[in-house]
Every structure is written in C-alpha cells, then in structure tokens.
Amino acid sequence: MDNVLHHLAIGFLHVFEPWNLAALIVGLVTGLLVAVLPGLTLVMGVVLALPFTYSMDVIPAIILLTAMYVSGTYAGAWTSILFRVPGEPMDVPLLWDGYTMARKGQAALALGWTLTAAFIGGLIAATFMVAAAHPIAKIALTFSTPEYFAILFFGLVSVVSLGGGSLTNAFISLFIGLLIASVGVDDTYGAERFTFGVDILRDGIDYLVVMVGAYGLGEVFARMEKGFKSAPLQAVDTVKTRLPKLRELWGAKMTYLRGSLAGIIVGLVPGAGATIASFVSYGAEMQYGKRKEQLGTGIPEGIIAPQTAATSSVGGALIPLITMGIPGSGATAIILGAFLLHGLQPGPQVFATSPNIVYAMFASLFVGIVGMCLIGYFAAKVLVKVLDFPEAVVSAYVVMCCFLGAFAARNNVTDLWLLASFGILGYLFERFRFPITPLVLGVILGPLAETNFMTTMVSYDNDWTIFFTRPISGSIMALAIIALVFPLVRHRLRSRKLARTAEAGMRARRPGPTEEVQS
C-alpha cells in the first residue's frame, strides 16, 4: 500500500506540472461544454479530441481525455434540471426529480445536490480504483494468451448483450466492426485480406477514422436530415448553485453510498457505462430508498442516485481498462485508442513498465473531480450560454474537427474518403437503430483478440479446447457464454410472454357462443 501511495503522490506531481494542468483544465471545460450541448455525446466529444493528442506526450494526452470523460458525466444535469433537455441518455433520470424541483422554484438547490453527488460519487470511485487496480493487475500478471483471449471474448460478448435494443442489430454491428478490423495484411501469416489491390488498405483501416466518422460525421448527417432544427429552450433567468447543508447531506448518506456502489459495479462490466449505471441506481433507490414512494415528486434522492452512479462509473470503467486492457465503456474504448496511439498497451505489465503514466491518470481523476465541481459551481451560468449557438455552427465545427483529425493520422487524402464513408455508415446506423458502440469495440478489440487467439493456437498445437481446460480461461469463457446466452433466452421468453398476452387479449375480445346466439 505504501508503494501505491508513493506512486500516487508522484502522479499528483505530474498532474500539477504546467502543461499537464493546462491539459486537465482544457479537458474539463471541453467535457462540460460537450455534455451541455444536446446531441453531442460524451463519447463523440472524446473521439473528436483524440486526434489532437497526436503531437502531445502520453501523460497530458491521457489526462486530457480522462478529464473530458469525468466532466462529461456531470454537466448534462444542468440542461436536464433547468431546461428539461437531457444532455446525455444518462441524464434522463434527472428529469424526474431534478426538473420537478426546478419547477417548484428550487433549481439552485437541485444543482447543488447534483454537484455534491458528482463530487462524492467521483471521489469514492477514484479511491476504490486506486485501492483495487494494483491487486487486480497482480492477478492478471499470471494470465497467458488463453486467458487474455477469453477476457477479450468476454468484453466483446458483454458489449453485445448489454448494448440494449435489438440483439440482432448489435451482433451485426459487432461483426461489421470485426470485418473492418480484418482489412489489411495478416500479422501472423502475412496474407492480404480484403485489400482489393488498393495500397492504402494494405496498412489496414485506422480505427480512429472509423470512430470519428461513425460518431462525429454520422451525428452531423442525422442533424442535417432534420434541418438543424432543435426544439427551442425555455428561458431561465438565473443559473446559480446552492449547496445543501451538512445535516441534509448526512441524511442522504445511504443514497450516496448505494449510488456510488451501483456506479462502480456497473462500470466494471465491459460495455455497460454511465447510462446503465444511472438507471440501475435510480431503480435501486426506488426499491430500497427511505422515501422511495416520493421519488418522481422532486426530492433530492432522485437527483443523488443517478448522478453519483454516473460519475462513479468512471472509476469503475477505468479499472478493467488499466489492469486488463478491456474498455468498460465507449469513452474508455477511445482512451484505450489513445494508449495504443502512443505505443502503450494497457494491461498488468503497464504497472511495471509505466507506473508514472498510470498513477498520473489516477491522480488526474481526483484533481479533475475537484476542478469539475469548482468550475461547475462558479461558471455554470457562462457555460450554459453555449446553448445559444446556432446548431448549424456547432455542426460545422464538428465536421472541421473530424476532417482535421482524420488527415492528421496518416496525412493521406484517402483517409478523408474513408472518413466520409464511415460517416454515412454511422448515419445509417442511427437511422435504422443499429448501435455504434459494438462496431467501434469490434474494430479496436478485434485485432487484439485475433493476435491472442493465433498465438494460443501456435503455442498449443491448434488445440482450441485449451480455452476451456485452463481454470481461469475456462471460467471466463463460461461467464462469456452465459452473458451471450442469457439475453437470448430472456428475449425468447419475453417474446413468448407477449405472444401469450396478445392471444389472451384476442380471446377476451372474441364473442362467446351465447353472445353469438343472442346477436
């Protein structure tokens, strides 16, 4: 433990270096602005920032993206409470009690409860992350390629099973991502795959182009289809934050604790993220809260539960990313991309090879949470003014960032055409309700899974049963299969139940023999 605290102290020193601190502040402000603007998602904001980290050292780059990630879970609450416009899907539960409090004339106090929830939930999760990451990494050091492939397989499967919506669409999205990842020259045998004689494809398709195109341009195309017309926002005279009293905070201690635990646990699950954590925490409060009957009428517990879970999910999601290289959410998938761009592979070895980077990231989370709350308390009124910008102007800025970032990757015009193509693909995904996250995870995790699979096959004489006969890999594969099969079984049972309900309804409406005789 002393060693961990020693490295963490050095991490704080790294964070407070001028350039790193500047990256942190820029990341916090950018994350808050992205979260405030409805339609600009947190993941999209992190994607757009990623290309600008090319020329940066790895520490400020990771600090910048981590700061955007944590602050992006907070500012969307402002528009939910003040304007009834959730900045992110994770902010939807805040409408039910936060906006209701604002309608009662308690908007400032509702913003205060949000701030304390983000602050306390974030610090609890960050502390847990520091305490748990190193022991988990020590266990992961005993893993070999079968275990790594099993973990990657579990990550891919979990993203599909927890993606929500249509399972078929999630599978199709994942397989398209894996297909894109297979383009280029095979690392093991040197064979060309799906290159069609095009030179640029021999180097493979950069996952950055896929991410920026699908998330960034795809969203702009969707807005263009609607004519850049968003619903007008209700005017708010004053935007200020009033913190609750200490006695009130202590009275809600169990809600803070439940929300933080829900966020950490859900964040640990690959593919879950802040949105699921927010809804799960609100549901838990409805089950176990002291004032569960009053939820939805504008009480603080309805704000604390989703906000603590959303912010604490950040710490939970960073644990599998750092210790095993498995992203726990869409945003951590982008941060994984930043690690790879700078030649670092997250995993247990990174604690031995680059502890300065890992603990600088940990320290930046603590500093970022404090900075986020200070900026939120003093500058919320100024940041909310960004909502006055015309939607077309914001979209034009997003397009410019997308093309600059894609061109900076390899200085190749072909990447711009690929970017536009993946933008159209992302738009079609949104249009026909295909989730983009499985696509992106397939592009990023596909090559890693292939490498570990092929290495295992070479090492164990093509014996595929090795994934099931080794204790750890076998257990993880079993969990992965359960995670894969359970949603399918649940979907099948739900379909049968709906069919039986519909059939019973038709029978009830059908006239009986007596009624037919009378008629």
pLDDT digits (tens, 9 = 90+) for 429-458: 888 888 887 887 788 778 888 888 998 998
pLDDT band at 161 (very low <50, low <70, confident <90, very high): low
How many residues are recorded in the chain?
519
Q: Which of 269, 265, 79 is nearest to 162 (CA)?
A: 269
- Tell me how crowded residue 179 is: count the other CB atoms within 10 A of its CB: 15
Mean pLDDT of all residues in 115-126:
90
Highest mean pLDDT among 211-220, 278-287, 422-431: 422-431
Q: How far apart are CA 162 and CA 487, in angstroms?
A: 8
pLDDT > 60? residue 426: yes
CA 433 to the chain's CA centroid = 18
Question: Which stretch of DSSP H or E encloses residue 194?
Answer: none
Chain segment 275-292, per-residue pLDDT in tens: 777 877 887 887 788 887
For residue 119, what pLDDT is reported? 92
Mean pLDDT of all residues in 197-204:
79
- Tell me how crowded residue 254 is: count the other CB atoms within 10 A of its CB: 14
Query: Nearest 5°: phi and psi at 278?
Result: -65, -45
Cα 392 to Cα 43, 76, 83, 306, 396, distances in angstroms = 20, 20, 20, 31, 6
Higher pLDDT, 270 or 462: 462
Domain map of the chain by residue range? 1-467
Q: Which residues contact 403 (CB under 8 A, 6 or more apart)?
A: 416, 419
For residue 193, the cross-strand partners are: 184
Mean pLDDT of the chain: 80
Q: Which residues contact 406 (CB under 8 A, 6 or more apart)?
A: 51, 208, 209, 212, 213, 415, 416, 418, 419
193 SS3 class:
strand
Mean pLDDT of all residues in 252-263:
88
Q: How far apart are CA 225 and CA 302, in angstroms?
A: 35
Provide the b/e sequence for 411-436 (b: ≥16 CB within 10 Å): ebeebeebbbebbebbbebbeeebbb
Q: How far apart are CA 173 and CA 171, in angstroms?
A: 5
For residue 519, what pLDDT is reported? 46
Least confident of 119-123, 155-159, 200-204, 475-479: 155-159
For residue 386, what pLDDT is reported? 64
Mean pLDDT of all residues in 126-130:
89
Chain segment 350-375, per-residue pLDDT in tens: 787 888 888 888 899 899 999 988 88
Region for residue 435 given its phi and psi (left: phi exceeds 0; alpha: psi -120 to 50; beta: otherwise): beta
Q: Which residues contact 343 (CB under 8 A, 6 or more apart)?
A: none
Q: Tell me the Cα Rg of the chain.
A: 24
Indicate the pairing of strand 184-185 with strand 192-193: antiparallel
Q: How far apart are CA 274 and CA 317, in angstroms?
A: 9
For residue 350, what pLDDT is reported? 79
Q: Are 438 and 159 in contact (CB under 8 A)?
A: yes
